[in-house]
Structure 1
Amino acid sequence: MNLHQFRFVREAVRQNFNLTEAAKALYTSQPGVSKAIIELEEELGVDIFTRHGKRIRGLTEPGREVLKSVEMIMQEIEGLKRIGKEYAAHDSGSFTIATTHTQARYSLPKVVQAFTQKYPKVRLSLLQGNPKQVADMVRNDQADLALATETIANAEGLITLPCYQWEHVVVVPPDHPLLQSKSLTLEEIATFPLVTYDHAFAGRSKIDHAFSLRNLKPDVVLEAIDADVIKTYVELGMGVGIIAGMAFDPERDPNLRAIKVAHLFGTNVSRVAVKQGAYLRGYVYTFIELLAPTMNRKLIEQLMAGEKDMYEL
């Protein structure tokens, strides 16, 4: 058996058992992929895939165990390559971050600026998506690190570390009646149309849960994936906005006012996620330290090794 066979098995699964697409992804021929997989099955003495005619349809029971071993082997191989690259050039390389729009727009700019000043030879890339998508990007080796809300905390195959806490705010025009409230209530907010995040983003589940506990059904007239869109439609008078506090800046948003509502929706924690068992280059540790000042390399390594797994902010 050889590494090519392992790559073919892994890619066949990633391409939803389509060998033609697997071959394209690996820049080889479909017959070659098929032949290599059959040879591996013969050597192991088990069928890895279920078949209908010449087409593979899924994994057999032993095939699922084989895939687990293949993933571990390929991860170790990739780790060895990264070790070699880091020792050859510890301050250069590529670094891909997967994150949501809110984090990319409001949390990361200063961190990225500080990082690029420290590591000018590192080529940095940002990929955006919802929390599930950014977790998948790390799991599938499309990104080195993900940053999102606590919805990624239990993502399978990832180690997640708490970075910082944040709260929601209600945003309204300068003359809005809610500004007269001494201590804003959910009942007061629910009397107005709401503009807020899509269900996959920025603590929306906490917002819904808070209203549900009070048996309130607010009229959500618009859902969006980022705070800029929400603020735009609040300015147009479509309703009251609920956004992440980090997304409001009095100087940048002169036509809006923010009301703190942590007493209604609680606090949220943004988390950074890396692939379980991944080898992290030195500058990745530095990036996490810039993002979460309470972190250091030793603590990160302990958390990744399963120690102090109850650490929270």
Structure 2
Amino acid sequence: IFGRSGKHLTHVTEAGQDVIDIATQILSKVEGIKAVAREHTQPDEGKLRIATTHTQARYALPDVIQGFIKRYSKVSLHMSQGTPAQISDAAAKGDADFAIATESLHLYNDLVMLPCYHWNRSIIVRPDHPLAKKQNITIVDIAKYSLVTYVFGFTGRSELDAAFDAAGAKPKIAFTATDADVIKTYVRLGVGVGVIASMAIDDRIDSDLVVIDASHLFKASTTKIGFRRGSFLRAYMYDFIERFAPHLTKDIVTRAMLLKNNHEVDEFLADIKLPTR
């Protein structure tokens, strides 16, 4: 199982990794059996662990979480934020029940990934910025200025880079962050033009900024919710999924779980019109 160097164990061998993988699957099945028992004896009690990004936690989930907690007061909720790699790893290892993410979905092949909604971006500038009064803004227009936006790998950043590439332009990235509120702060300081998820705009507190719809400039991104293949989902977990994405009913989710891979899942759900936020 382990490779040696003298008296020291130095690494896990290929055979050892196979043993670990099988043991992990067995432990997962044991947890599934326990979950089945709890579903019948304590249907409204348990825990729900969600791994996601700041944008989802801050802007997409609050209303869902509030309603869920009100309905399931005996379910303890744990939310962790991380990078796409950390989120997928947490769900794949069983450290999180659900992964909610947009970027780097190729990392999630070990999970059943279900599409929840589309979203796009807005440009934010100070009122005294030249773009504030410009009509029909293009990528070339934006490329003239320094940008304040998301760190690569977060919140649809790859679509921004793809749009600039398609226009033959190169973005002048002055500042990056994982948090839209931080991006807004540095736009207010005059560091550059902000590009953020439209759902992160709050009309009450962002009235000092000029918000410009940029959905014509960038391809829409899709947020998905995922869970480990072979997982036993408690009734309240199905309910959480449907609260977050009403088109993902228990019947739809159950049928998607029977498919072999996410390509088949995407084909199965292809005719469903996703909402846009």
The answer, yes or no, to whether TM exceeds 0.5 is: yes
How many corresponding residue pairs? 266
Shift of 1:176: 2.5
For the residues of structure 1 that align with 2:67 and 2:127, how far apart are their CA atoms?
Answer: 35
Shift of 1:69: 2.1
Gaps in structure 2 of 5+ consecutive residues? none
Shift of 1:284: 0.8
1:15 corresponding residue in structure 2:
none
The structure that is helix-richer by fraction is 1
For the residues of structure 1 that align with 2:35 and 2:10, how far apart are their CA atoms?
Answer: 34
1:115 aligns with 2:64: no
For the residues of structure 2 that align with 1:253 and 1:153, how far apart are their CA atoms?
Answer: 34
Greater relative contact order (Cα < 8 A, sep 6+): 2
Shift of 1:63: 2.7
1:147 aligns with 2:100: yes
Question: Aligned to 1:306, which of 242, 259, 267?
Answer: 259
Farther off after superposition, 213-222 or 237-246: 213-222
For the residues of structure 1 that align with 2:133 and 2:83, how far apart are their CA atoms?
Answer: 35
1:235 aligns with 2:188: yes
Residues 250, 257 of structure 1: 8 Å contact kept: no
Task: Give the 3 Å change call, closer, same or farther, for CA 291–193 of structure 1 in structure 2.
Answer: same
1:52 aligns with 2:5: yes
Mapping of residues 286-297 of structure 1, within 5 Å: 286-297=239-250
**TM-score normalized by the length of structure 2:** 0.91
Please give the secondary structure, in 2, of the residue aligned with 1:270: strand
The letter of the residue matching 1:265 is F
Q: CA RMSD in A?
A: 1.5
1:32 corresponding residue in structure 2:
none
1:254 aligns with 2:216: no
The letter of the residue matching 2:227 is V
1:206 corresponding residue in structure 2:
159
1:176 corresponding residue in structure 2:
129
Question: Aligned to 2:51, which of 98, 104, 107?
Answer: 98
CA deviation vs aligned residue, 1:44-64 (integer Å, no higher than 9, x gap): xxxx22222333333333333
Shift of 1:154: 4.6
Residues 148, 270 of structure 1: 8 Å contact kept: yes
Shift of 1:156: 3.3
**TM-score normalized by the length of structure 1:** 0.81
Shift of 1:285: 0.7
For the residues of structure 2 that align with 1:152 and 1:256, how far apart are their CA atoms?
Answer: 32
Question: Aligned to 2:176, which of 203, 206, 223?
Answer: 223
Gaps in structure 1 of 5+ consecutive residues? 1-47
Question: Aligned to 1:85, which of 30, 38, 43?
Answer: 38
Task: Give the 3 Å change call, closer, same or farther, for CA 302–153 of structure 1 in structure 2.
Answer: farther
